[in-house]
Structure 1
Amino acid sequence: MLLHLKIANLATFREVVLDLSPGLTCVTGETGSGKSLFVDALSFLSGQKNRLLFVPPGQNEGVVEAIFSPSQTMPVFLKDVVLPGDDWVLRRTLLANGRTRQQVNGTNITQSQLQELGTCLMDLVGQGEGFRLQNPRIHAEYLDSYGETLSLLDSYKQLREDYLEKKRLLSETEKQQSDFERRRERIREINVDRESLSPRPGEWAFLQTSLSVLLHTHDLMEAASMVYDHLYGSEESILGKIRKMSQDLDRLKVHDPRLGEVAIPLGEAYTLLKESAEESRQYLEGLSFDPEELGKTESRILEFQRLSRKYNVPPEELSEFFEKNALELLEEDPEYLQKMQKAVYHAADVLRDTQQKLSEKRKMASIRLSKEVTDRLPKLRLEKGIFSVNLIHSGGEFPPEGAEEVRFYFTANPDLPPKPLDQIASGGELSRILLVLKQLLAEKDSVETLVFDEVDSGIGGEVGETVGDILSEISSTRQVVAITHLHQVARKAGTHLVIQKREKEGVTESTVTVAEGESRVSEIARMLGGSDLAPSTMTLARELLLSSSSDQNRSASNRKSPSI
């Protein structure tokens, strides 16, 4: 409930400080006095976009501040800001440059958080901004509140989240199984290729060398034969000549010992060249051309190259690749996937049952709500009006808000078919329909403070009396603030606020005062007959206030009786 309100330095308000009470509070004043600005200040406080408010020249900022005593569950973001049981102090500041700040109990919050608070603390109902009924998405909220299916809707949403989560996990599991199968197949394929190739360490280099030898066998034999023949294979061989030179030196060194030094290198050369001749002989003995061996070598090389391309691994690294990737085949649990599938099917069945129950209850509630609203419209000068609640199948699997979209339909003429309320109803018709809905939902709506902005526009007389009775009945369970131009409504209020505009030192200023006693009589008289307060008008105002007081006392003794 709204306990305290302060408006400072906003538009034509310099400083307004009000303590509000439960029940019905009416706000009246002449046209242009500031009633719309008063409502805009409340809308601004609830987190809505600023429309008409401004910071007066010479001021740095304007402020709207309110103290609420809430009964709703505390939003999560307030857990560290407000202690359970504490009042909520909302403060929103409009800076001269148009920017805003918002706080709860001195702690800064975002505009979206303020909007969340405003939605649960106040419901602004008027001809324009705050017309929640113009939004088709709100229709389901009204029907579920009326049909007492909000808890069933919450269960549906929770079951839907559970189902979607299980479905997501099943999809992931199926994907993992598919990946698992692909991995098993890859491991199986690697093992087959590894077994087929059976590469040995260093085999690729050996194959390259072997192929080169086989392809050049003739040249290699010719070169090795030439070496052997020149070194050892003939009478004129190099080794034969070196041996004869060594013998001659040994024979002649008796004449000159220095020839012994010349003979030493020849002896060493002879030994080395003899070893080379022997190596070339052995090489020739081991060298042969085998076409079959060439074919095998080329096939082996081609297999290396094929697997190299297949696994994108250099041929020389295939042996290491197979060692690292040839694993044991993985084993899966076939029952796990079946369990997941059964869990999804079960969650879908439970969700489907809950969805069907919600649809059935909504259907019954839509019939009752259509009749109750239509039955109450005649006393609000909508004698031929027809209100209906239509349930439109949403389509798709388990829509977020249930199987159907809820749409309110209306027609003011029975010869014309009802059409969507937000497309056909005028502002006055929309306000009166919403007023009836608020009366029906007063016991069930969680919003404690309702602000009605001239819902009586365009009506008067007996209909005005009915509007006053409806607002009075709603105020028995909710705090109601009604901006009105009808004395029939104003005189039923427990608290009567009057907004007046005056010039002070060349500056226009709007004030808000509590009308009591003669000041209230004067305000009711003004609403009856204009600014000319004749004695007869004052007398009538007193009599009407006295009559309303008596009616309120009788109504308070029997709140269970319907007003219309």
Structure 2
Amino acid sequence: MITTLVIKNYALIEDIRVDFNEGLTIITGETGAGKSILLGALALLLGKRADLGSVKDASKKCIVEGHFAIANYNLESIFDENDMDYESHTIIRREILPSGKSRAFVNDTPVALAQLQALSPYLIDVHSQHETLEVATENFQMDVIDSLAGNSSLLKLYSKEFADFKKTSEALSLLQKEKEDASKELDYQSFLFNELQQANLSKLNQQELEETYETLNNAEAIQDALSNVNRLLDEEQIGTLQSAKEARIILGKIKEFSTVFEGFWERVNSIILELEDISSEVGNTSEKIEADPEMLFQVNEKLQTLYKLQQKHAVSSVSELLEIEKNLEEKVNTTLGMDDAIEKLEKQKALLRQTALKTAASLHQKREKSIPLLKKKLEATLLPLGLPNAQFQFELNASEDFKASGTDTLQLLFTANKGMAFGSLKKVASGGEMSRIMLSIKAVLAEYKKLPTIVFDEIDTGVSGEVANKMADIMHQMSKKMQLLSITHLPQIAAKGDHHIKVYKEDKNNITGTHLKVLEKEERIIEIAQMLGGKNVSEAALANAKELLN
């Protein structure tokens, strides 16, 4: 419930603070006194967009602040879901700065309007004769039925199941789209992969292949060169080895005379050993090399395949081709493996669908059972409100399509007179009838669920006499279970209030301002008397006012 409302520099209000209590609070005042300003301030607290034009003095900051006692509202989860700090005594503040910028705070923490708008329906519910079209919406009507049916737990369960079903359905659609896109490239990717795989790249050494090719392609020239080398090294008359050996013999005769000569001998000896080794290897290699046209052809084919693949994939090494082959294999396998994943998701979706349908069917059954009771209560409530022949007809049908609250579609049909055809509320109910229907529905709801503070803004327009008395009785009865504020012009309703606030305008220093005053008992008598007979209060009006209050 709202406990305090502070308004500064808003419209015709300079600075007011009003405290609210439990029960029924009546708000009265002459037309144009500023009752709508209170509603405008409340709308800011509920998340309406701010307008600099509503600020009294544009050079100063405008502040609207509301204090709410919500310990019994069980709103902790709502605060958590919207990332706000929960306090059993919650303070909401809106500020409009001279720059036109608006700010919102919940418990002194800045919040976005979306966060405030998510919270506000749980705090205040405003109704006026011009804003009763909500009662004609399917969502509102379904919510009423669910309240009577006690479907709160089932709705939470269904909401989770529906969310799981939607999540799985979206994942399945995404995977199917990915498979569709991937399938278009699968053939080409498979071709590239097979082409690389057939090349047997892991067993290819490009450098060895190129050396082998050059060797086989130049076998005759290589053999001639190696023979000449061997001849130069080891020919008996002029070979390098022979000359070196002769030098070693000569040095051997003098090596003992000096370490220098001994060093010469050792170096020549090392050269001889290295040359002998080279000569031996050259000879062996020369014997191994021979022209092999078939092998040359095979090596050339491998190299040409390798060069073509490198050119196609714009790389220069076997290792890069192997990496490409690996990536292609993963893509091909992923695409081929999507069928299994899709099949798994399809089964999961079907299972979740059946689970949600089962819960939706339970919701439907409980709704069907509660409709006769709701019909009876609404028609009984409207009977004394000047609609003795009002009748409702609820058409509840189950479908196969999921909605936020199940699979049901609902149409509420209404007729106010006997012998008249039923029609949808928004088509056949007048503004006055819609107001009374809304009041009746809220009265029934108050029996079954914890409602937020309700504000009725002249919902009684066009009503008088005994009907007004009955409306007052309903409001008073509702206020025993909830906080209710009623802006009214009817003395019958004003007299039923537990508390009474008067809104009035006053001129000071040639400036008009709106003010609020909490009326005491004697002041209430005068106010109600004026509502009955005008400003010039008669004794009869005073007596009538006292009688109404008693």
TM-score, normalised to structure 1, is 0.70
Structure 1 equivalent of residue 110 of structure 2: 108
Shift of 1:294: 8.9
Structure 2 equivalent of residue 495 of structure 1: 499
Structure 2 equivalent of residue 88 of structure 1: 90
Shift of 1:5: 2.0
Q: Give deviations 1:189-233, integer Å, cap 9, x for gaps.
A: 36850359964534764698699989xx9xx9xxx9xxxxxxxxx
Question: Is the Cα contact below 8 Å between 1:205 and 1:316 reproduced in 2?
Answer: no
Relative to structure 1, the CA distance from residue 298 to residue 144 in structure 2 (aligned partners, 3 Å threshold; closer, same or farther) is same
Shift of 1:366: 3.6
Structure 2 equivalent of residue 41 of structure 1: 41
| Counterpart Cα distance in 2 of 1:14 and 1:54 | 12
Question: Is the Cα contact below 8 Å between 1:526 and 1:532 reproduced in 2?
Answer: yes
CA-atom RMSD, angstroms? Answer: 4.6
Comparing 32-41 with 44-53, which one deviates more in the overlay? 44-53
Question: Is the Cα contact below 8 Å between 2:121 and 2:452 reproduced in 1?
Answer: no
Match of 2:517 among 513, 517, 528: 513
Q: Give deviations 1:480-503, integer Å, cap 9, x for gaps.
A: 100111111111111111212222
| Counterpart Cα distance in 2 of 1:322 and 1:377 | 78
Asked if 1:29 is matched to 2:29, the reply is yes
Equivalence map 1:99-498=2 (5 Å): 99-129=101-131, 132-133=134-135, 135-166=137-168, 189=194, 193-195=198-200, 199-202=204-207, 205=210, 303-304=305-306, 307=309, 343-391=348-396, 396=401, 398-412=402-416, 414-419=419-424, 421-422=425-426, 424-498=428-502
Give the SS at the match of 2:67: strand
Question: Is the Cα contact below 8 Å between 1:385 and 1:412 reproduced in 2?
Answer: yes
Relative to structure 1, the CA distance from residue 186 to residue 423 in structure 2 (aligned partners, 3 Å threshold; closer, same or farther) is farther
Shift of 1:479: 0.6
Relative to structure 1, the CA distance from residue 206 to residue 513 in structure 2 (aligned partners, 3 Å threshold; closer, same or farther) is same
Shift of 1:138: 3.1
Q: Give deviations 1:22-77, integer Å, cap 9, x for gaps.
A: 11111111211112222222222222235797222476133222221102232117
Equivalence map 1:9-28=2 (5 Å): 9-28=9-28
| Paired AA for residue 360 in structure 2 | Q
| Paired AA for residue 7 in structure 1 | I
Q: Give deviations 1:312-369, integer Å, cap 9, x for gaps.
A: 6569778866997899999999999987666554433322211111122223334443
| Paired AA for residue 454 in structure 1 | E
Give the SS at the match of 1:140: helix
Give the SS at the match of 1:442: helix
| Counterpart Cα distance in 2 of 1:88 and 1:192 | 69
| Paired AA for residue 110 in structure 1 | A
| Paired AA for residue 455 in structure 1 | I
| Paired AA for residue 13 in structure 2 | F
| Counterpart Cα distance in 1 of 2:178 and 2:57 | 67
- Length, aligned pairs only: 477
Question: Is the Cα contact below 8 Å between 2:197 and 2:325 reproduced in 1?
Answer: no
Relative to structure 1, the CA distance from residue 505 to residue 21 in structure 2 (aligned partners, 3 Å threshold; closer, same or farther) is same
| Counterpart Cα distance in 2 of 1:330 and 1:384 | 72
Question: Is the Cα contact below 8 Å between 2:9 and 2:57 reproduced in 1?
Answer: no
Structure 1: 5+ residue runs without aligned partners?
225-282, 547-564
| Counterpart Cα distance in 1 of 2:400 and 2:461 | 40
Larger gyration radius, structure 1 or structure 2: 1
Q: Give deviations 1:390-438, integer Å, cap 9, x for gaps.
A: 4466654x3333112444443445524312x345544322221110010
Question: Is the Cα contact below 8 Å between 2:454 and 2:483 reproduced in 1?
Answer: yes
Relative to structure 1, the CA distance from residue 319 to residue 2 in structure 2 (aligned partners, 3 Å threshold; closer, same or farther) is closer
Higher helix share: 2
Relative to structure 1, the CA distance from residue 191 to residue 134 in structure 2 (aligned partners, 3 Å threshold; closer, same or farther) is same
| Percentage of pairs with the same residue | 29
Question: Is the Cα contact below 8 Å between 1:525 and 1:537 reproduced in 2?
Answer: yes
Q: Give deviations 1:119-174, integer Å, cap 9, x for gaps.
A: 11111111235864355433332332232212211100112223344556677888
Comparing 135-144 with 443-452, which one deviates more in the overlay? 135-144
Shift of 1:456: 0.4
Structure 2 equivalent of residue 55 of structure 1: 55
Question: Is the Cα contact below 8 Å between 1:468 and 1:489 reproduced in 2?
Answer: yes
| Counterpart Cα distance in 1 of 2:83 and 2:52 | 33
Relative to structure 1, the CA distance from residue 62 to residue 296 in structure 2 (aligned partners, 3 Å threshold; closer, same or farther) is closer
Give the SS at the match of 2:7: strand
Give the SS at the match of 1:403: strand
